[in-house]
Amino acid sequence: MIEADRYPDYPTMSRETPHWSPEGTQSARNDARGLKFAIVVARFNSGITSKLLDGAREALSKAGADAVEVFDVPGAFELPLAAKRLARGGYSGIIALGAVIRGETPHFDYVAGEAARGLQQVALECNIPVAFGVLTTDTMEQAAARAGGEYGNKGYDAAMTAIEMAQFCKAPGK
C-alpha cells in the first residue's frame, strides 16, 4: 500500500506532477520560473541523502526553476548554520536535506530536534522559506522508503514546498 492510499486526504507531492495549463503556464503554486533555490544536503547517510537530492532536483527541474545551487555539509546538525549563511545569498528559498536514523543512544533526539529547531529559526529570523527535507526514521529501511521508495521522495516534496512558499512570500501583503 502506498502512502497516498493509506492517507487519501494527504497526498504525497512526489506522486504528483506540476499541472500545466493549455497556455503552457503552471499554476502559481507550482511555478518555479524566475526563482532561485539553494539546496543544502548532509553527507551523513549519503546513500539516502543523494536520493533525496535527486528528488529535489527533479521537482525543481519540472517546475522550471531558473537556478539551483547545491551545497554539502557533514551532517544534519550542520544544516541550520549553512541555511542561515545561504539565506543572505539572494535565494527564493532553501531546501535542507538530511537523514537522521535512530540508533541505540539518545544522539538521534539531539540531532533531529536541533536540526528542525535550527532550520525553523532560520526561516523565521531571515524571512525566507526553508523547506525541511530531513528524514527522521527509526530504521534505514524506513528512510529508503521515503527516499524514492514506496512512500515517494521527501526531497521532491521538500522542493515543492519551497516553491509554494517562495510564491506565497512573493504575493503582495504576505
Active site residue 107: yes
Catalytic annotation, pick one of 19, 33, 43, 107: 107
153 and 14 Cβ atoms separated by less than 8 Å: yes
Closest CA to 49 of 81, 110, 95: 95
Cβ atoms 92, 129 nearer than 8 A: yes
Catalytic residues: 107
